[in-house]
Amino acid sequence: MCELCMKHGAGGKWYLNAEHYTEKVVEQYNLRDYLLEQYKNFEQVSVRKVYGFSGVGLGYKLRIPIIGRIIKNTAEKMLHSEKPPKNPLRAEGHIGQVVPLEDAIAIIENCAAEPLIEKNCMCRYMSRGIKEACCINFGVMSEIIEKLPRFIPDKDKFHLTKSEAVKRFTEHNRKGYIGTIWFGPFPYINNLCSCESPECAGIRPRMDFGINSIYKAEYVIQLDQQKCSYCGNCVRQCPFGAISVDRENKTVKIDLEKCFGCGVCRHVCPNDALFLSPRDMIPEVSGQY
Ligand code: SF4
Ligand code: SF4
Ligand code: SF4
């Protein structure tokens, strides 16, 4: 289990601990006001400035010996903060994890606070100008977003029942979007996203800059070689470049270190050759989140 599960999972996974979705947490941290302020300024908080740091020349700044380390440490400290959130213009306590379809369904069915809505993904909009409704929000987050028209999809219905939310998430996951769940801010869970890399402002800092902005899933992919027909579908579907196929020599290679455990490769395998195993049961990557 990752450190979030150990500290906040009450014996299970942190994101399946229903405590983190309650109105009690919203009131305790005054999250209605905090989140309204934060999402009015989303572009400043999360995209133009990557977690409060200007994205301009960030790669270069991070390579400067001492300054780079200070920026990285400060960003990680802010994202992983468990102090009561104070500054809505920073992504304080905003840490998440990749989740496969099964766990996302368990979140929606057993934990998510209502109302549920789907909103436009602002990461895609900011980076590609595309409005696509693929973030599912819960509880107070849904109330806030309703007040901010630019997040609202161009269609009549954006309120979802739980079964509609499961259907929408499943569609996105089958397309190859990466399921992610977020504290926003700690200890409140309110966002179940379907992300793409590199647009996602949560995934990009880790992939491009080595900032620990998101945990890999509690799982890692495994292959039943006997069933594989070397078609290569999974190679095209994997958003992290973790699989390669050599058709001539009939071999499939999975780079377990690159695998985030999102499970989307399974959806395109014609032979059911891919399956997820708990990360901690696979010695090569046990404890690596
Ligand atoms: S976290 Fe993912 S789905 Fe949510 S806004 Fe960012 S890219 Fe879009
Ligand atoms: S190989 Fe790993 S990272 Fe790639 S799609 Fe499959 S589960 Fe996700
Ligand atoms: S999609 Fe399935 S059958 Fe095709 S190469 Fe990948 S594991 Fe093998």
The per-residue pLDDT for 75 is: 87
- Give nearest CA residue, ligand 3 atom 4: 231
The per-residue pLDDT for 196 is: 94
Alpha carbon of 206 to ligand 2 centroid (Å): 16
Least confidently predicted of 15-24, 27-36, 110-119, 150-159: 150-159
244 and 253 Cβ atoms separated by less than 8 Å: yes
C-alpha 87/C-alpha 103 separation (Å) is 31
Tokens of 176: 């190859």
Which of 252, 266, 268, 276 to mutate to test ligand 3, by most ligand atoms within 8 A of the CB atom?
Answer: 252
- Tens of pLDDT along 211-263? 999 999 999 999 999 999 999 999 999 999 999 999 999 999 999 999 999 99
- Give nearest CA residue, ligand 1 atom 2: 195
Ligand 1 atom at minimal distance to the Cα of residue 134? 3
The per-residue pLDDT for 276 is: 98
Ligand 2 atom at minimal distance to the Cα of residue 263? 7
| pLDDT confidence bin for 93, thresholds 50/70/90 | very high
Alpha carbon of 225 to ligand 1 centroid (Å): 34
The per-residue pLDDT for 126 is: 83
- Tens of pLDDT along 112-142? 999 999 999 988 988 888 899 999 999 999 9
Ligand closest in space to the Cα of 43 = 1
Q: What is the DSSP string of 137-199?
A: EEHHHHHHHTT-GGGS-SSS--EE-HHHHHHHHHHHHHHTPEEEEEESSTT-EEEEEEE-TTT
- Tens of pLDDT along 182-202? 999 999 999 999 999 888 888
pTM comes to 0.94
The per-residue pLDDT for 237 is: 98
C-alpha 136/C-alpha 14 separation (Å) is 18
Which of 257, 265, 268 to mutate to test ligand 2, by most ligand atoms within 8 A of the CB atom?
Answer: 265
225 lines ligand 3 (CB under 6 A): no
- Give nearest CA residue, ligand 2 atom 5: 238
C-alpha 244/C-alpha 75 separation (Å) is 33
Alpha carbon of 222 to ligand 1 centroid (Å): 27
C-alpha 151/C-alpha 137 separation (Å) is 11
- Tens of pLDDT along 37-71? 999 988 776 545 555 555 556 677 777 788 778 88
DSSP state, 45?
I
* Residues whose CB falls within 8 Å of the CB of residue 103, separated by 6 or more in sequence, listed in order: 13, 15, 16, 179, 181, 217, 218
Question: Where does residue 226 rank: exposed (0-12), middle (13-18), buried (19+ CB within 10 A)?
Answer: exposed
The per-residue pLDDT for 198 is: 86
- Tens of pLDDT along 75-91? 899 999 999 999 998 88
C-alpha 137/C-alpha 90 separation (Å) is 20
80 and 91 Cβ atoms separated by less than 8 Å: no
Q: How far is CA 19 from CA 182, 272, 281, in A?
A: 14, 35, 27
* Residue 116: its H or E element: strand 116-120
Alpha carbon of 193 to ligand 1 centroid (Å): 5
User: Given CA atoms 238, 241, 242, 247 in this order, what sign does their dihedral have?
Assistant: positive
282 lines ligand 3 (CB under 6 A): no
The per-residue pLDDT for 228 is: 97
- Tens of pLDDT along 136-165? 999 999 999 988 988 999 877 899 999 999
Ligand 1 atom at minimal distance to the Cα of residue 178? 2
* Residues whose CB falls within 8 Å of the CB of residue 35, separated by 6 or more in sequence, listed in order: 88, 140, 141, 144, 184, 190
144 lines ligand 3 (CB under 6 A): no
Q: Angle CA(75)–CA(76)–CA(77) in degrees, nearest 5?
A: 95
* Residue 253: its H or E element: strand 251-254
Domains, the chain, in order of start with CATH, read 3-215 (no CATH), 219-281 (3.30.70.20)
The per-residue pLDDT for 48 is: 53
Q: How far is CA 276 from CA 39, 112, 149, in A?
A: 35, 24, 39
